[in-house]
């Protein structure tokens, strides 16, 4: 493990606490007001959050999150029953015709498979993923990972959003790791919290040691820094909130 930086870790903790302690607000997933409103409404349209989470793979996040909303506009319906009208061939046709993803065949299959899974295994209600049998975080992460093409990154991201942003009182935060995301990997290394040759698995283990009660606590803060300032090339260190605390191992 790289050397500890107490000042840096304390600052990250303070920023993370601010995010977790704030009241629930509308999260900007897409920069489209209508889409963001419905993705945030997990009480009435939880399938938009689940489907959007699954689409967030190797694509700009706004583009991934808006896919279910875009398709709902074509279907002229937001309820889950509207999505059930889609067969696989139609789903693939929509993805290709509108270039919804970099991997249209694979993600169209994942989109359709998720609809079928929600239908057959969660009684047409995606919120049952996080409500049935009063599950803890570990169980909800596992349930997300049972969806086609969902692994550690998407499952932990989704549950972190449910806890941090949607304020769901799911127990066992120890099960939520940082996501295996390129932004988080880059920021951890440049901050000196992880060796420059560290793999994602090692970074996850480092986060577990830094804050074992909730290893994914820093996830959003590090992601925002990586997305906003700590770019792969030409990072904007002067404007970064970590300027003056980060060792800038670039």
Enter the tokens of residue 229.
Answer: 């300032």
Mean pLDDT of 59-70: 98
Residue 36 to residues 40, 141, 155, Cα–Cα distance (Å): 6, 23, 20
> What residue ranges do the domains of the chain occupy?
6-23+175-228, 33-132
Q: Where residue 69 falls among pLDDT bands split at 50, 70, 90? A: very high
Confidence check: pLDDT of 50 > 90: yes
Estimate to the nearest angstrom the gap between the alpha carbon of 105 and the chain centroid.
22
What per-residue confidence (pLDDT) applies to 208? Answer: 95
Q: Where residue 3 falls among pLDDT bands split at 50, 70, 90? A: low
Residue pair 216/231 in contact (Cβ under 8 Å)? The answer is no
Q: Where residue 6 falls among pLDDT bands split at 50, 70, 90? A: confident
Q: What letter does residue 232 receive in the DSSP assignment?
A: S
Confidence check: pLDDT of 177 > 60: yes
Please state, rounded to an integer, the average pLDDT across all residues of the chain.
96
- Give SS3 for 203: helix
What per-residue confidence (pLDDT) applies to 4? Answer: 61
Helix or strand (DSSP H, E) at 8: helix 6-21
What per-residue confidence (pLDDT) applies to 9? Answer: 86
Confidence check: pLDDT of 19 > 80: yes
What per-residue confidence (pLDDT) applies to 7? Answer: 86
């Amino acid at each position: 493990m790289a050397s500890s930086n107490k000042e840096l870790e304390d600052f990250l903790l303070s920023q993370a606490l601010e995010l977790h302690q704030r009241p629930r607000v509308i999260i900007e997933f897409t920069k489209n007001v209508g889409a963001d409103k419905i993705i945030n409404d997990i009480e009435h349209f939880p399938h938009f959050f689940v489907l959007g989470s699954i689409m967030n793979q190797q694509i700009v996040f706004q583009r991934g999150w808006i896919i279910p909303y875009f398709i709902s506009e074509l279907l002229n319906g937001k309820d889950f029953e509207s999505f059930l009208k889609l067969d696989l061939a139609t789903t693939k046709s929509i993805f290709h015709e509108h270039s919804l993803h970099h991997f249209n065949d694979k993600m169209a299959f994942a989109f359709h498979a998720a609809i079928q899974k929600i239908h057959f295994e969660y009684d047409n209600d995606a919120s049952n993923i996080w409500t049935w049998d009063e599950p803890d975080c570990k169980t909800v992460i596992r349930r997300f990972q049972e969806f086609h093409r969902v692994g550690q990154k998407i499952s932990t991201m989704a549950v972190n959003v449910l806890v941090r942003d949607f304020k769901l009182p799911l127990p066992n935060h120890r099960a939520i790791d940082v996501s295996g995301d390129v932004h988080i990997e880059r920021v951890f290394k440049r901050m000196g919290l992880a060796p420059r040759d560290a793999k994602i698995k090692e970074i996850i283990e480092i986060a577990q040691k830094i804050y074992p009660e909730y290893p994914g606590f820093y996830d959003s803060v590090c992601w925002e820094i990586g997305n906003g300032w700590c770019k792969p090339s030409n990072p904007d260190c002067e404007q970064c909130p970590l300027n003056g605390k980060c060792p800038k191992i670039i």
